């Protein structure tokens, strides 16, 4: 078999609670031969269970009646969604970040907060609580196929990876032991019920990743492991996740199709070629499943289904059936589905407009490939992520923290951070990269040629609009990069020439910000446009850079 047995589509935002968008996803899943629908929400289990052992009905009505009603509604809705999926032969999975709990739990059991005000992950209460949650889920929403757990992330409410407790239990407890205890607790409830248990490797460091996977190895061969295609998060320029093929068990590989780290769908790009390359590698390493994420929990009204990045969903689904699928056939099928503008909210469910030009797929294919080359040089600095997802940094320090620490790759590629040290040699390379991106983004309209695609006038005008906004996006990230690198260099050297050079770039950023404000003002774009082309963050970055340059000047006079 030249494909993958598990082929899941993931909804990660509030779209999962909108039935029209779920039906859209199910239609796609059924039409293209995928096998599963996944709802990914950090606290989704708490949306459907109380648990009643700790939150009996009388207490809920007395203290938390809105949550009481919300849980009942969520149960009814999810039972309905699971039935809709089952009617199409599609399995349903929950995905969550555990441990999570309702805030009222600490009101009932205040002792869970230790003397230092921190939660203790080694408190024996937590395995008991988690067991009750899962048992109640099985009673109330029994039709699901399995649960995907993120255990090793600091994004959950309680995890050993973000432990602040300093009690004796924590001082003597190993991370691997905690993970194993939690895994055994989950498995003890799900396995007898015939439900699959999947552990995600979502960790912020290589050490955390290794500890969690080692615990899974020690616990049971029945645990499936879900790994992102690149380590830490979905960064196309990063190396393939080295853990793939090493866990000794069934593995599912996750991909982002929407663009959290490559344009939020507003500025569409193809990651088709990258997906095929990595899927070949993952298949060779023994992976058996693929999971396609179509949106992001931290944004609303954005989705791969509401823009041209739907291409990447088609690609993932078709390549999951056959890794060697002809890529032109993927581009043709996507083009035949029709053009969708990402400038409209996902909840509008805008109908695609099919281009009538016989060769439209070639133009759209060449554009999407060229756009990725632009995005890689724009949102990354020498293959290191520069901003927060795709929005500009609001302080100089944050820009370097993002590249080196928060989204750094040193744990997986030693020494990679040295590429962004603000030396003269590095700065010249970085600035040349940004200049290339600006040159290339200005060529994109001549590659796409909207007026020749055979689209209605309104679609052509809309396409030209976001192509123009794309230039502003590249200019913005270019200007921010220049300010950050020159300010960092000046702060370190306190040399007058370096301070002057940084000040000149800071002035250029101010001029660009004014021009961007004029460009955006007459238009009522959906909020993701102003979220991405973020004037507020540009202003904060300017203030921060000015403050650092003033401090450098004081140092030079001392």
Say whether pLDDT at 204 is over 60. no
Q: What is the 3-state secondary structure (H, E, C) of 433-448?
A: HHHHHHHHHCCHHHHH
What lies within 8 Å, CB to CB, of 57 at 6+ separation is: 68
DSSP 8-state secondary structure symbol assigned to residue 239: P
pLDDT of residue 180: 92
Structure confidence at residue 203 (pLDDT): 59
* Residue 114, C-beta contacts closer than 8 angstroms, at least 6 positions apart: 120, 165, 167
| pLDDT, tens only, 32-60 | 999 999 999 999 999 999 999 999 999 99
Q: Are strands 196-200 and 146-150 parallel, antiparallel or unpaired?
A: parallel
Residue 156's pLDDT is 84
Q: 255: closest CA among 10, 70, 508, 546?
A: 10
Per-residue pLDDT at 558 = 66
% of the chain exceeding 70 in pLDDT: 98
| pLDDT bucket at 162, cuts 50 / 70 / 90 | confident
**Cβ neighbourhood burial of 369 (10 Å; 0-12, 13-18, 19+):** middle
Taken as a whole, the chain contains a residue count of 558
pLDDT of residue 286: 97
3-state secondary structure of 123: coil
Determine the average pLDDT of the residues in 335-342.
Answer: 95
Residues with Cβ within 8 Å of 157's Cβ and at least 6 positions away in sequence, in order, are: 43, 99, 100, 101, 119
DSSP state of 274: H
Position 148 scores a pLDDT of 97
The H or E element that residue 407 is part of is: none
| Residue 24 confidence class, pLDDT cut points 50, 70, 90 | very high
| Residues 408, 401: Cα–Cα separation, whole Å | 8
**Percent of the chain surpassing pLDDT 90:** 84
Query: Which of the residue ranges 22-31, 85-94, 237-246, 306-315 would you say has the lowest mean pLDDT?
Result: 237-246
Q: What is the pLDDT of residue 171?
A: 81
Q: What is the mean pLDDT of residues 393-412?
A: 93
Task: Using the structure block, give the residue that is written with the tokens 């949650």.
Answer: 133
534-553: per-residue pLDDT in tens? 999 999 999 999 999 999 99
Task: Tell me: pLDDT of 305 over 90.
Answer: yes
Closest residue by Cα to residue 395 from 528, 491, 267, 514 = 491
Provide the whole-model pTM: 0.95
> CA angle, 261 as apex, 255 and 267 as ends, to 5°?
105
pLDDT at 115 over 80: no
Characterize the bridge pairing of strands 384-385 and 380-381. Answer: antiparallel
- Distance (Å) of CA 33 to CA 258, 309, 312: 20, 19, 15
> How confident is the model over 473-499, as a mean pLDDT?
97
d(CA 220, CA 550): 58
According to the model, what pLDDT value does residue 443 have? 98
- The pLDDT, as a whole number, for residue 205 is 60
Task: Name residue 38's beta-bridge partners.
Answer: 10, 93
- In this predicted structure, the answer to whether residue 166 has a pLDDT above a threshold of 80 is yes
Question: What is the band of 213 on the pLDDT scale with cuts at 50, 70, 90?
Answer: confident
Q: How confident is the model at residue 224 (pLDDT cuts 50, 70, 90)?
A: very high
pLDDT recorded at residue 381 = 97
pLDDT of residue 154: 76
Selection from 479, 481, 480, 501 nearest residue 490 by Cα:
501
Quick check: 209 pLDDT over 80? no
- pLDDT at position 216 is 86
Tell me which of 3.20.20.80, 3.40.190.10, 3.40.190.80, 3.30.230.10 is the CATH number of domain 6-350. 3.20.20.80
Give residue 101's pLDDT.
95
Do the Cβ atoms of 4 and 30 come closer than 8 Å? no
For the chain, domain boundaries? 6-350, 366-557
Phi, psi of 377 (to 5 degrees): -80, -15
Determine the 3-state secondary structure of 302 from DSSP.
coil
Instruction: Identify the pLDDT of residue 430.
Output: 98
When pLDDT is averaged across residues 5-18 and rounded to a whole number, the result is 97
Mean pLDDT of 17-29: 98
Alpha-carbon span 51 to 131, nearest angstrom = 10
């Amino acid at each position: 078999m030249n494909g993958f047995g598990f082929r899941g589509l993931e909804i990660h935002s509030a779209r999962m609670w909108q039935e029209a968008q779920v039906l859209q996803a199910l239609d796609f899943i059924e039409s293209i031969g995928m096998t599963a629908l996944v709802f990914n929400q950090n606290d989704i289990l708490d949306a459907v269970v109380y648990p009643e052992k700790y939150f009996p009905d009388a207490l809920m009505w007395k203290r938390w009646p809105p949550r009481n009603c919300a849980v009942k509604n969520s149960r009814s809705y999810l039972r309905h969604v699971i039935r809709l999926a089952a009617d199409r032969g599609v399995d349903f999975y929950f995905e969550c970040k555990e441990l999570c709990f309702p805030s009222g739990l600490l009101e009932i059991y205040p002792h869970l907060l230790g003397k230092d005000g921190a939660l203790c992950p080694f408190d024996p209460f937590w395995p008991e609580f988690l067991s009750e949650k899962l048992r109640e889920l099985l009673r109330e929403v029994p039709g699901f196929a399995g649960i995907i757990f993120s255990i090793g992330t600091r994004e959950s409410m309680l995890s050993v990876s973000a432990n602040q407790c300093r009690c004796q239990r924590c001082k003597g407890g190993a991370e691997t032991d905690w993970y194993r205890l939690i895994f055994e607790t989950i498995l003890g409830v799900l396995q007898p019920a015939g439900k699959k248990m999947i552990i995600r490797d979502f960790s912020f460091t290589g050490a955390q990743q290794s500890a969690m996977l080692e615990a899974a190895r020690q616990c049971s061969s029945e645990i499936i492991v879900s790994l992102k295609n690149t380590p830490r998060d979905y960064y196309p320029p990063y190396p393939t996740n080295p853990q793939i093929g090493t866990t000794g068990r069934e593995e599912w590989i996750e991909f982002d199709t929407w663009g959290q780290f490559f344009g939020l769908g507003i500025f569409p790009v193809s990651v088709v070629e990258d997906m095929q390359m990595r899927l070949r590698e993952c298949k060779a390493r023994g992976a058996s499943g693929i999971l396609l994420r179509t949106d992001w929990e931290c944004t609303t009204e954005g989705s791969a289904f509401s823009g041209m990045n739907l291409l990447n969903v088609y690609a993932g689904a078709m390549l999951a059936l056959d890794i060697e699928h002809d890529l032109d056939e993927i581009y043709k099928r996507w083009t035949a589905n029709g053009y969708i503008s990402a400038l409209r909210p996902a909840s509008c469910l805008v109908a695609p407009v099919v281009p009538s030009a016989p060769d439209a797929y070639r133009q759209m294919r060449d554009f999407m490939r060229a756009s990725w080359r632009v995005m890689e040089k724009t949102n990354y600095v020498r293959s290191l992520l520069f901003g927060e997802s795709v929005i500009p940094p609001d302080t100089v320090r944050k820009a370097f923290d993002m590249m080196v620490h928060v989204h750094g790759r040193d744990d997986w590629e030693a020494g990679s951070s040295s590429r962004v040290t603000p030396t003269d040699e590095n700065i010249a390379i970085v600035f040349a990269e940004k200049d290339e991106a600006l040159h290339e983004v200005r060529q994109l309209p001549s590659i796409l040629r909207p007026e020749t695609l055979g689209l209605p006038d309104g679609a052509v005008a809309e396409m030209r609009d976001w192509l123009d906004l794309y230039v502003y996006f590249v200019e913005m990230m270019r200007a921010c990069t220049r300010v950050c690198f020159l300010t960092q260099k000046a702060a370190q050297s306190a040399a007058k020439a370096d301070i002057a050079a940084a000040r000149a770039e800071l002035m250029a950023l101010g001029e660009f910000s004014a021009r961007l404000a004029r460009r955006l003002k007459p238009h009522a774009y959906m909020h993701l446009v102003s979220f991405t082309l973020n004037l507020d963050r540009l202003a904060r970055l300017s203030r921060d850079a000015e403050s650092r340059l003033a401090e450098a000047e004081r140092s030079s006079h001392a």
